Amino acid sequence: MDCGESCVRQKKRRCCLIFCVASVLLVVVLAVVWTLVLRQEKGQVQPVFFARCKTFTGYDCQALWDAFQKAYVQRDHCDVPMEAYDPLIAAAPVEPACNTVMLWSKTKDLVHKFTEKNKCFVTLEDTVLGFVLNVNGLTWCGKKGSNKTFTVGCPKWTDCDNNPVRSFWNRASAAFADAACGDVTVMLNGSIDVPVTPDSTLRRIEVKRLSPPRVKSLTVILVIQENSSTGTNCANASLKDVRKDLDRRIKYKCKEVIESQIQECIDSPRNSCGPCW
């Protein structure tokens, strides 16, 4: 709004000035609050951990925090194997999920929008530990000789295999796949040439943890764009590799689904657990 022009037109310059100043102050206050929230989420692990943990019932958040810290405190940055998180996983075990497990790779935003509306499927990030630590930019590590949690100077995901963050997600992914039973679904991005890479969590860990007779089938939902000349289909070589990784006793099928069809299901959630494809 052009405050000066409005004031001339309405002949209320003083009121307009007060309004403009108040508006600027409000914007400043909101910016400060938002900055503090971002700093808390990106720079401090403990407040985020407890705030998010408390949204779940039936969990001792302090006990979970203690088990979480024990995995990496007093350890070198690159010496935290995924097994170090076994006590944490035992403290918050993933409940068996039959016909509802949704795995994903390179479809993060879409799959979480989908499961938020369609409660018939759950992702790792819907579990207590997955939710608590699923914050963009959140990192943590320990140091030898210290019982503190650090967020500065920690290794990046690709710096070493056994860094604290990567090992946590590897262990949590394994626990989530171990809890799967019945029919398992995985949502992949069909708009890229290679929907699943060999170093993806899906191939390295999750698919290999799906065991018969507990798991009966794996259905790949390959999300494609309508009338697109780029991307891939269910005959993609990387999907054939997924089939090779999967135990032969587990049925495998792949469906190419237009993204707008999934978006329609997000916008108009179904009352029943019928599929959206």
Name the helix (H) or strand (E) containing 183: strand 180-189
Average pLDDT along the chain: 87
> In this predicted structure, which of 124-133, 153-162, 237-246, 260-269 has the lowest mean pLDDT?
260-269
The pLDDT tens digits for 50-59 are: 999 999 999 9
Q: What is the dihedral of CA 166, 168, 178, 129, to 10 degrees?
A: -130
The pLDDT tens digits for 126-167 are: 999 999 999 988 999 999 999 999 999 999 999 999 999 999
Q: Which sequence spans correspond to the domains of the chain?
A: 3-39, 44-267
Give the separation between CA 206 and CA 215, rounded to whole angstroms: 12
Q: Which residues contact 82 (CB under 8 A, 6 or more apart)?
A: 162, 167, 168, 170, 171, 174
The pLDDT tens digits for 7-44 are: 444 444 554 444 444 444 444 433 433 333 334 344 58
Angle at 141 between CA 137 and CA 147, to 5 degrees: 135
Q: Which residues contact 8 (CB under 8 A, 6 or more apart)?
A: none
Q: Which residues contact 267 (CB under 8 A, 6 or more apart)?
A: none
* Domain 44-267 in CATH 1.10.760.10: no
Q: How far is CA 101 from CA 97, 167, 215, in A?
A: 6, 21, 11
- Of the two residues 115 and 4, the one the predictor is more confident about is 115
The pLDDT tens digits for 141-152 are: 999 999 999 999
Count CB-CB contacts under 10 A for residue 62.
10
